[in-house]
């Protein structure tokens, strides 16, 4: 476990030094995992795969670890697991004990009314426990808007700006918790919307100047890819992608089902779906600049 976490830490250092970001791609099932693995292999890119509480409950914490390790070994790729939006200290600890290299404790997402003191204290508990394996801990002192879905409403930026990170708050939170990764809020909403997202890169630069830990961006789906290029140059090391993969999966599956109404062998229906998700992952890898950056 410690060896894997040490390698993950080195990856984050490389990303920041070489001005690229690593994609963290959500897994809904084995087919999504296969798509990410194939994309990582084709692009020679390091990748993170991530699961939130729903996927953990559906697939099992330890089973996900075993699946990822099996594919990682078979394909010979650089791949790590991120436990995303862990809703409690107990859930985060379970991820640490399962050997996940990246742990996101998200107190404010699970409990919108959580006080600053609660968020800091619970984050501190996870940071302390993570010393067991050396896992990198990610957190934030604010609530992210949106959800990992296809939204029909437009983005109300006046409201969203109320939840943006500030340089001073970011600095204080990092200093008080000792986290490895700060999840910045600069317009990067969860989910996909009818209009492209707009990221405040000037704010990101200000945050980068006052904290020395890794910076992540959640809500990467539906974001014009030039923002990824610029964010990596500024010093973002990790970008989470979920909805774009789900949309590629569902849209392609619906197309395949329409074209093959008499086919019931699921494995025969999945080939084109996996290809579509792989294509989506490869596009993000190119934008993030991580192609050719893997080290085995």
Cβ-based neighbour number of residue 29 at 10 Å:
12
Alpha helices in 47-188 (DSSP H): 53-59, 61-75, 89-97, 107-110, 116-129, 157-160, 167-177
What distances in angstroms separate CA 257 from CA 138, 149, 169, 270, 276, one per listed residue? 40, 22, 49, 10, 15
Q: Can you tell me which residue has the tokens 């930026």?
A: 157
Please identify which of the residues 84, 106, 180, 200 carries the catalytic annotation. Answer: 84
What distances in angstroms separate CA 296 from CA 21, 91, 131, 208, 288, one per listed residue? 18, 30, 24, 29, 20
Active site residue 84: yes
Cβ-based neighbour number of residue 97 at 10 Å:
15
Nearest C-alpha neighbor of 285 from the set 224, 227, 228: 228
Active-site positions read: 84
């Amino acid at each position: 476990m410690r060896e894997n976490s040490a390698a993950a830490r080195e990856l984050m250092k490389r990303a920041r030094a070489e001005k690229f970001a690593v994609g963290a791609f959500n897994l809904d099932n084995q087919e999504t995992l296969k798509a990410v693995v194939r994309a990582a292999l084709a692009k020679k890119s390091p990748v993170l795969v991530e699961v939130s509480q729903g996927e953990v409950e559906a697939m099992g914490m330890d089973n996900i670890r075993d699946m990822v390790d099996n594919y990682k070994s078979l394909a010979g790729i650089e791949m790590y697991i991120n436990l995303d939006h862990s809703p409690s200290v107990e859930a985060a600890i379970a991820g640490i004990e399962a050997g996940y290299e990246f742990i996101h404790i998200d107190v404010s997402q699970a409990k919108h009314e959580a006080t600053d003191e609660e968020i800091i204290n619970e984050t501190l508990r996870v940071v302390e426990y993570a010393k067991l394996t050396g896992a990198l801990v990610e957190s934030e002192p604010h609530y992210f808007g949106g959800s990992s879905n296809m939204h029909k409403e437009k983005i109300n930026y006046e409201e969203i700006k109320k939840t943006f990170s500030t340089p001073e708050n970011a600095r204080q939170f990092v200093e008080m918790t000792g986290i490895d990764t700060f999840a910045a809020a600069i317009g990067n909403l969860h989910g996909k919307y009818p209009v492209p997202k707009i990221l405040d890169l000037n704010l990101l630069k200000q945050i980068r100047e006052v904290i020395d830990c890794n910076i992540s961006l959640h809500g990467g789906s539906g974001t014009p890819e030039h923002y990824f290029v610029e964010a990596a140059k500024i010093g973002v090391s990790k970008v989470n992608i979920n909805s774009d993969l789900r949309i590629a999966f569902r849209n392609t599956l619906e197309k395949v089902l329409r074209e093959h109404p008499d086919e019931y062998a699921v494995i025969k229906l999945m080939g084109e779906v996996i290809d579509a998700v792989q294509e989506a992952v490869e596009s993000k890898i190119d934008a993030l600049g991580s192609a050719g950056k893997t080290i085995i």
